Amino acid sequence: MADFTDILYGIDRGAATITINRPDVRNSLTTHTYEEIHAALDLANADPAVGVVILTGAGEISFASGEDLKVANTLTVDRYTKYLQANVAARARMFTLDKPVIGRINGAAVGGAMSLACNCDLLVAVDTARFGQTEIRVGMVGGIDHFLTVGRARLAEIMLLGKIFTAQEALALGIVNRVVPREQLDDAVREYVGEILAKSPTSVALTKRMLAFVHQASGWNSARAFQFEMVVQAFQSEDRPEGMSAFIDKRPARYKGRAQLEAGS
């Protein structure tokens, strides 16, 4: 079995659990973390003893969080592009996996973490979890992994306002399947595991492939490729370093466009 540094990988009763294990930095997702998630997904898919994959985070504060802004704000475009490539590849692998991926959302799933979570087939969230595509708050562009789940109006609200919302709101939007108290989280996940393992592995794999095809037929691959371009453009803009620096410094951002508008008012 591979030696991982950013994740934990284990198998129990037919389920492989991938745990993002960086609790000291709120399980932030680096290029290396995404690469390890991808490798663990490949391991699980090739293992006949595994019928389901569980993806979760260490601790009780965060399922995961996006790239550390202090690090991201120092990256070259080439290094950030490599980060995005690892990010997209891991998320895409979750769709092409023949085995269902259950997201055990043990805490906050904001920014890149929400994008990662939305690529799970089923999501069980603790009732204290929080969600949000907050990238626009720091001069960046967020993921669109939930575009088939919510209507256009709510999608625009999530993407353009960058608000944080509760697990209960995520349930109402159809982003998560179940919301439970923390003491019931593992039992709820295990209930889904048991139901899937009771089904024909062949039928489960073929159903997963069908779901992946439907997603691709909806234009998902083209949308994700376009999103990639928009994220790179945002990263190269003058607003990105100002947005990230303002967030790090806990001050209002002074975006160039906004300053010009205020000067002319």
Q: Which has the minimum average pLDDT: 20-24, 117-121, 218-222, 223-227?
A: 218-222
Instruction: Give tens-digit pLDDT for 152-176.
Output: 899 999 999 999 999 999 999 999 9
Identify which has the larger pLDDT, 14 or 146: 14
Read off φ and ψ for residue 99, nearest 5 degrees: -115, 135
Q: CA-CA-CA-CA torsion for 96, 228, 130, 107, nearest 10 degrees?
A: 50
Q: What b/e sequence results for 226-255 when a residue is b if at least 16 CB atoms lie within 10 Å of its CB, and e otherwise? A: ebbeebeebbebebbebbbbbbeeeeebeb
Q: CA dist 78 to 15, 75, 84, 223, Å?
A: 37, 8, 10, 22
Mean pLDDT of the chain: 92
Give pLDDT, residue 106.
98
Nearest CA-CA partner of 253 in 161, 136, 141: 136
Helix, strand, coil tally for the chain in percent (to 5): 55, 15, 30
* Residue 192 reports pLDDT greater than 90: yes
What is the pLDDT, as a whole number, of residue 191? 98
pLDDT value of position 208 = 96
Question: pLDDT digits over 77-95, tens only?
Answer: 999 999 999 999 999 999 8
Q: What is the pLDDT of residue 256?
A: 81
**Closest by CA position to 27, among listed 55, 62, 51, 53:** 62
Beta strands 122-126 and 165-166: pairing type? Answer: unpaired
**pTM attached to this predicted model:** 0.92
Report percent pLDDT > 70 for the chain: 95
Is residue 215 scored above 90 in pLDDT?
no
104: its two tokens: 């055990």
Query: Which residue from 86, 111, 72, 71 is spatially nearest to 34, judged by alpha carbons?
Result: 86
| Alpha helix positions (H), the chain | 31-46, 69-72, 77-96, 112-117, 152-161, 167-173, 185-197, 201-217, 220-236, 239-249, 256-264
pLDDT given for residue 261 in this prediction: 44
Closest listed residue to residue 175, CA positions, set 225, 103, 88: 103
Mean pLDDT computed over 133-139: 93
pLDDT at 78: 95
| pLDDT at residue 258 in the model | 56
Domains of the chain with CATH codes: 7-217 (3.90.226.10)
